[in-house]
Amino acid sequence: MDYGCIGEHLPHSFSKEIHEKIGAYPYELKELTPQEVPAFMTRKAFSGINVTIPYKQTVIPFLDVISPEAEAIGAVNTVVNRNGRLYGYNTDFTGMCQLLARMGLEPKGKKILILGSGGTSRTADAVLRALHADEVIKVGRTRKQGVITYEDALRLHTDADLIVNTTPCGMYPDLFAQPIGLDRFTRLTGVLDAVYNPLRTRLVSEALRRNLKAQGGLYMLVAQAVAAFEILTDEKAPEGKSEQIFTELYSEKQNIVLIGMPGSGKSTVGSLLAQRLGRPFVDTDDLIVQIAGSDIPTIFERQGEAVFRRLEKEVIASVSARSGCIIATGGGAVLDPDNIAALKMNGRVSFLDRPLELLLPTADRPLASTREAIEQRYRERYSLYCAAADDIIKVESDPSVPAEEILRSHQR
């Protein structure tokens, strides 16, 4: 191949999309088993490649030259073939430096925990030491040379200023995993998570709820790719290219999630948004009906609300893992905080706030089939909708008006 990325499992890699946004050159994803890597590297049938998990160290013995930064880190993520000689570099260093700067996090003089002890952990260690962190402590599942356990971290180092997650914990498809809780960290000011899929891991979400500076790894991925492009092609990327691509990609990957009362227009507005953006439209109530094989009133009547809520939670967990979708939720989805947490991993949540007097009871909504029921649900849920929403969108008559407002907020 000409240019591309090698790794063991790449079905959800963003690298091809990013490189296609950087420059007009062929770029492919190539999955290799560990047994296939030596032959691939020996053949040298490529102009330049990026290298991802788990081969950032595996490729090193096949290189003729390795940059001082990559050698110090002990990991390579970019290899260039120059007249049959292979040169190895590590652009993750650049990517992490740029992400820290973008977040406004200054490691100098700080105590920092790095979760994980693999290749990305070594990159983080090199970056933080280069930026004059006062103390850098690696945390892993088992205690070994230079690595403490998570139990040690929670017992001895809850005064850390910054946590950097370099493990795959919380990465698709294991979206609901979290490497460490933040309850006991009293001085924490920021969390950097190298995971980029989902856009916002549970770790990042918890940090944001605590009003800490926190971000996932997508910007780091983009910035290292731009740095790799410059090495691979010997060309300088335009100023601001990383920020431009990050903004575009984040918007493309982020779901638009609609919450609100029954009858607030979620399905209508969602369909309009799907048409405008050319995106899939997902109605969680429709999926529940498909799974259950019966309509919602029948589920309530024969199996009860508890069964419906369990199905709803399973469906929301599943659709939350998707990206680039328009998702309309049932009116009671906000009753379970886990639903909102899941939807926000890859989504921006808009509350369609339709005035109570415009909400009409209908027989197909078991908890909103009468005027009295509608009013009671409104009183019970309104504060939950507001608390869950990234945007509160007023809805009255023309559904195109809230659709346009959501588009504007999503593109900011």
111 an active-site residue? no
10-18 long-range contacts, CB within 8 A, separation 24+: 10/52, 12/172, 12/197, 13/52, 14/196, 14/197, 14/218, 14/221, 14/249, 14/253, 15/50, 15/52, 15/221, 15/225, 17/249, 18/221, 18/222, 18/225, 18/245, 18/249
List, in sequence order, the alpha helices (H) in 278-370: 284-292, 296-303, 305-320, 337-345
**DSSP-based three-state secondary structure for 78:** strand
Q: Among 249, 237, 223, which residue's Cα sits nearest to residue 23?
A: 237
Alpha helices in 131-181 (DSSP H): 150-156
Catalytic residue among 30, 56, 213, 394: 56
Query: Which H or E element spans position 233?
Result: helix 218-233
Compute how many other C-beta atoms are within 10 angstroms of the C-beta atom of residue 346. Answer: 24
Rounded Cα distance between 298 and 304, Å, is 9
Q: Looking at the annotation, which residues are catalytic?
A: 56
